[in-house]
Amino acid sequence: MRVKICGITQPQQSLAIASLGATALGFICVPSSPRYVTIAQIQAAIAPLSQNIDKIGVFANTTIAEISQIVTKSGLTGIQLHGEETPEFCQQLRQSLPQVEIIKAIRVRSLEHLQTTTNYTDYVDTLLLDAYHPQQLGGTGQTLNWHKLNQEFSPSLPWFLAGGLTADNILTALSHIKPSGIDLSSGVEHSPGNKDLHKVALLFQKLDTR
Ligand SMILES: O=C(O)c1ccccc1NCC(=O)[C@H](O)[C@H](O)COP(=O)(O)O
């Protein structure tokens, strides 16, 4: 199972988190976020990582030109779209950056809203389900209803479960639902952008006991 730790801001924490077992690290490229990082910060965080770690830039409601510039300059291997990007936008992005993994995040307002994921199937590689919050785009710490999700969601693409996951609740979440990957941010940090390596280690200990 893929494990993505998102919202890394400190270069020295990226290698430590990868060494603990993360398969992907996420870097927030949304300027309004307290976890926002510049191209130079991403370059510094990525430099010590091995090639097999996925380096995902998180974007929201920006342009293809902006995404392309940041991805190319920083060395990111994947893009997570966390805003209101349409399937047509994803299709154009794929044409611009064909070698880069595209992950479309859906902030789930209601179970009916899950239907929209089918519109993206032909244009993205991976889906990510996150909890909806009216004021915040991501990193909210809010959880989804895993039991109901399991009953309603059976996508044809690989997908990440996100939203309020922690070392304390991860085994409960995975007892209800079997995503291809999990994505954590605020549940493994001291404060926005400052990851708590103890909580990250605890997460991997829990995952090892499955
Ligand atoms: O984390 C942010 O600050 C953020 C800002 C704007 C768009 C997306 C953002 N985060 C996206 C993520 O991938 C988080 O990992 C995801 O929302 C889960 O967060 P959490 O509930 O804190 O685990």
Residue range 132-181, pLDDT digits in tens:
998 999 989 999 999 999 998 999 999 999 999 999 999 999 999 999 99
| Mean predicted confidence (pLDDT) in 96-125 | 94
7 CA: nearest ligand 1 atom: 1
| Mean predicted confidence (pLDDT) in 193-210 | 97
Q: Which residue has a Cα nearest atom 19 of ligand 1?
A: 139
In this predicted structure, the answer to whether residue 210 has a pLDDT above a threshold of 90 is no
Prediction pTM value: 0.96
Residue 129's pLDDT band (cuts 50, 70, 90): very high
How many angstroms separate the alpha carbon of residue 135 from the centre of ligand 1?
Answer: 13
| Mean predicted confidence (pLDDT) in 101-126 | 94
Pick from 17, 137, 191, 203 the residue to mutate for probing ligand 1's pocket: most ligand atoms within 8 Å of its CB: 137
| DSSP helix/strand/coil, 19 | helix
Residue 14's pLDDT band (cuts 50, 70, 90): very high
How many angstroms separate the alpha carbon of residue 173 from the centre of ligand 1?
Answer: 18
DSSP states of 146-201 = HHHHHHH---SS-EEE-SS--TTTHHHHHHH---SEEEESGGGEEETTEE-HHHHH
Question: Are the C-beta atoms of 121 and 96 separated by less than 8 Å?
Answer: no
Q: Which residue has a Cα nearest atom 11 of ligand 1?
A: 138
35 CA: nearest ligand 1 atom: 3
Separation CA 128–CA 192 (nearest Å): 20
